[in-house]
């Protein structure tokens, strides 16, 4: 969950690398560092904290160089500190390494390097093992040394390496962690993600798993595990660099909340034919294919898992196929029943989530058909799937996911409706009704965002809370989980979501005077039952914020505050209901003075297990 950048060319490497790291700070912000080659001497500067701390430390130094690597860290091995920050050097100072991921056998390697090679380690990190290992194998040929070191290393990682004696070359390796190459004019780059390079390069190579890259200022070559050169088509980045900027908003999260009407519109309309039928990009699930499927798994982590809960609801209701939703980190450890009659749907914003990728491979090895829902074109999950369905959310920079989630919901509805039409489990009238409701969502989202000021005022009354409960029924349960997650991850308030019918089975014991309960009551068929649940918590002294459709005003008699969403069919309320919860979490965090886009201990792309 770290960000790496490398540059070789005619420009000022220091400034270009630091600029790129700033675009990757969402991937980690415990510390940052750079390594530059100055006249065949490696100069390393690194500092705990944000990139601004590093900039302040090196201000005024002459760090002129035309080649270097940089890193922004989310700590895994070793607490955040100057010493544990990347880049790391070999003992003789000839090799510098930046690293994203985990070296799983670093303890054994460290023992071997210490006892057999006499290496003295300075840090607690697994990354220093890489630098020392390459240093041991280095005999004036960096590519050869990297290959030999990689043979010894186990885990999921991407690395960037430079050598003092080879001031024209960066070597990088991808093993289950994101890596791209940017192609510029008289310069080339490596990076963890596209935003780092957009200012300098829009033509890139998407590096595949188990590939090694060698870049100089004039060329970029890709090699496989056997050192054979690989030819690769270039990928042209079409989205605007401004999409990765705040554009006047205080935070990326708020900007991305407001981009949801556009993201939903793009994700939906790009898949609809003129006659209203659904076109799922390159997905070729026929009726015959679907008739063979007797079980669907939706597997994901965090926010994507919550989208999967809505996906289960939609697929079972429309297509009448049993669906199980599982947390990716647990899926493969319970030996799930998967065979060639299983459809495995992987959901991931980045397409690099390590737990999801590992679960995908487990299911694929057992014969399952893999369909992925991802936002990043060419990501690992996308490349290893049989079918890919891209969301059109655009770049999402804030760690707390918002627009990626709502576009994932749209994908789930489209997949469910497509399956239903193929299988004949939905009438044309019902299909047209749901499709009409989906088409109205962008405008209704715009309408809903106008209630932002009301939500901010409610937040002003509640931001000092220390615990919050979210309750709902039906599809509102999954939205409650997502609302709770948003609040805890950016405001650090202890929040808890539960199906409202489960309150009486234990959780109601926690209700007392002033306890904040956010009650989702957007399902018409369950509305009266939710009003009863609100009465239950109110009787114990709870303060209730209700969420309902604007025509269901009876909730005002029970709740202390009410937020309304536009009227819509029960089936599509999740897309609307989540937005007030996102805004509530945002304003609570802002009032508490939290770092909203970069919450503590979290990073955007979780590339470690």
Domain ranges of the chain: 3-238, 244-449, 452-591
* C-alpha triplet 278, 282, 283: angle, nearest 5°: 70
**Residue 447, number of CB atoms within 10 A of its CB:** 15
Which is nearest to 99 in space by CA: 48, 33, 165, 163?
Answer: 33
What is the pLDDT at residue 243? 61
Q: Catalytic pick from 2, 187, 301, 594? A: 2
Which is nearest to 193 in space by CA: 6, 446, 4?
Answer: 4
Q: Catalytic pick from 312, 444, 549, 604? A: 604
CATH class in words for 244-449: alpha beta
In this prediction, the residues of the chain whose per-residue pLDDT falls under 70 are 1, 239-244, 282, 603-609
Contact 543, 517 (CB under 8 A): yes
Q: Which two tokens stand for residue 493?
A: 């308030």
What is the pLDDT at residue 425? 95
64: exposed, middle or buried (C-beta count within 10 Å: 0-12, 13-18, 19+)? Answer: exposed
What is the pLDDT at residue 238? 75
Strand 211-215, strand 220-223: pairing: antiparallel
Based on its alpha-carbon atoms, the radius of gyration of the chain, rounded to whole angstroms, reads: 25
Strand 155-163, strand 95-103: pairing: antiparallel
Integer Cα distance of 352 and 381 in angstroms: 6
What is the pLDDT at residue 283? 81
Angle between helices 475-491 and 573-591 (to 10 degrees): 20
Q: Active site includes 2?
A: yes
25: exposed, middle or buried (C-beta count within 10 Å: 0-12, 13-18, 19+)? Answer: buried
Q: Which CATH superfamily is domain 452-591 in?
A: Glucose-6-phosphate isomerase like protein; domain 1 (3.40.50.10490)
Whether the CA torsion 226, 228, 231, 237 is positive or negative: it is positive
What is the pLDDT at residue 239? 63
Strand partners, 223: 212, 229
**DSSP strands (E only) in 124-275:** 155-163, 166-175, 180-183, 187-191, 203-206, 211-215, 220-223, 229-230, 235-236
Which is nearest to 211 in space by CA: 154, 258, 173?
Answer: 173
Integer Cα distance of 382 and 373 in angstroms: 8
Residues 6 or more apart in contact with residue 601 via CB below 8 angstroms: none
How many Å from the N-terminal Cα to the C-terminal Cα in the chain?
Answer: 10
What is the pLDDT at residue 430? 97
What is the pLDDT at residue 134? 97
Q: Is-same-fold flag (3-238; 244-449)?
A: no
Whether the CA torsion 21, 25, 27, 31 is positive or negative: it is positive
CATH class in words for 3-238: alpha beta
What is the pLDDT at residue 273? 83
Length of the chain: 609
In the three-class reduction of DSSP (H, G, I as helix; E, B as strand; rest coil), residue 609 is classed as: coil
Contact 237, 198 (CB under 8 A): yes
Residues 6 or more apart in contact with residue 506 via CB below 8 angstroms: none
């Amino acid at each position: 969950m770290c960000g790496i950048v490398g540059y070789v060319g005619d420009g000022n490497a220091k400034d270009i690398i630091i600029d790129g790291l700033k675009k990757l700070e969402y991937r980690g912000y415990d510390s940052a560092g750079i390594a530059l080659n100055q006249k065949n001497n490696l100069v390393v500067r690194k500092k705990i904290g944000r990139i601004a701390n590093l900039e302040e430390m090196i201000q005024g130094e002459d760090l002129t160089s035309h080649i270097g690597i940089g890193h922004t860290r989310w700590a895994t091995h070793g607490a955040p500190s100057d010493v544990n920050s990347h880049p790391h050097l070999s003992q003789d100072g000839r090799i510098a390494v930046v690293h994203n991921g985990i070296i799983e056998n670093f303890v054994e390697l460290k023992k071997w390097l210490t006892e057999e090679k006499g290496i003295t380690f300075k840090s607690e990190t697994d990354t220093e093992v890489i630098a020392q290992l390459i240093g041991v194998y280095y005999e004036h040929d960096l590519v050869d040394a990297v290959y030999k070191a990689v043979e010894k290393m186990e885990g999921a990682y991407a690395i960037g390496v430079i050598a003092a004696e080879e001031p024209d070359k960066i070597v990088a390796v991808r093993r289950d962690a994101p890596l791209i190459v940017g192609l510029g004019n008289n310069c080339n780059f490596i990076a963890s993600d596209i935003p780092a390079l957009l200012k300098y390069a829009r033509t890139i190579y998407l590096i595949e798993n188990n590939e090694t890259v060698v870049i100089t200022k004039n060329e970029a070559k890709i090699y496989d595990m056997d050192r054979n050169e690989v030819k690769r088509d270039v990928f042209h980045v079409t989205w605007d660099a401004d999409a990765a900027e705040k554009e006047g908003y205080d935070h990326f999260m708020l900007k991305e909340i407001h981009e949801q009407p556009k993201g939903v519109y793009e994700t939906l309309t790009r898949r609809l034919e003129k006659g209203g039928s659904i076109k799922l990009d390159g997905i070729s699930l026929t009726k015959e294919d679907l008739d063979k499927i007797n079980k669907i798994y939706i597997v994901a982590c965090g926010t994507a898992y919550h989208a999967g809960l809505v996906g289960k609801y939609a697929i079972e209701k429309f297509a009448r196929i049993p669906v199980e939703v599982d947390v990716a980190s647990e899926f493969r450890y319970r030996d799930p029943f998967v065979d060639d009659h299983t459809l495995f749907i992987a959901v991931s914003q980045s397409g690099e989530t390590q737990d999801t990728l590992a679960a995908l491979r487990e299911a694929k090895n057992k014969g399952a058909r893999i369909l992925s829902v991802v936002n990043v074109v060419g990501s690992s999950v996308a490349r290893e799937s049989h079918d890919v369905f891209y969301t059109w959310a655009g770049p999402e920079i804030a760690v707390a996911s918002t627009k990626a989630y709502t576009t994932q919901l749209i994908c789930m509805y489209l997949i469910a409706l497509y399956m239903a039409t193929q299988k004949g489990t939905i009438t044309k009238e019902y299909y047209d009704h749901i499709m009409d409701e989906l088409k109205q969502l962008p405008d209704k989202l715009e309408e809903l965002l106008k209630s932002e000021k009301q939500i901010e005022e409610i937040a002003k009354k509640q931001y000092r809370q220390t615990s919050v409960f979210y309750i709902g029924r039906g599809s509102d349960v999954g939205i409650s989980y997502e609302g709770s997650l948003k609040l805890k991850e950016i405001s650090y308030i202890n929040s808890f979501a539960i199906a409202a019918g489960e309150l009486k089975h234990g959780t109601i014991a926690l209700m007392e005077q002033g306890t904040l309960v956010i009650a989702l009551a957007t399902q018409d068929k369950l509305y009266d039952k939710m009003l009863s649940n609100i009465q239950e918590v109110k009787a114990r002294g709870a303060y209730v914020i209700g969420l309902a459709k604007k025509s269901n005003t009876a909730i005002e008699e029970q709740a202390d505050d009410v937020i309304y969403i536009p009227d819509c069919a029960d089936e599509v309320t999740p897309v609307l209901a989540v937005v007030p919860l996102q805004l509530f979490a945002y304003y609570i965090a802002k009032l508490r003075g939290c770092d909203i886009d970069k919450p503590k201990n979290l990073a955007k792309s979780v590339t470690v297990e």
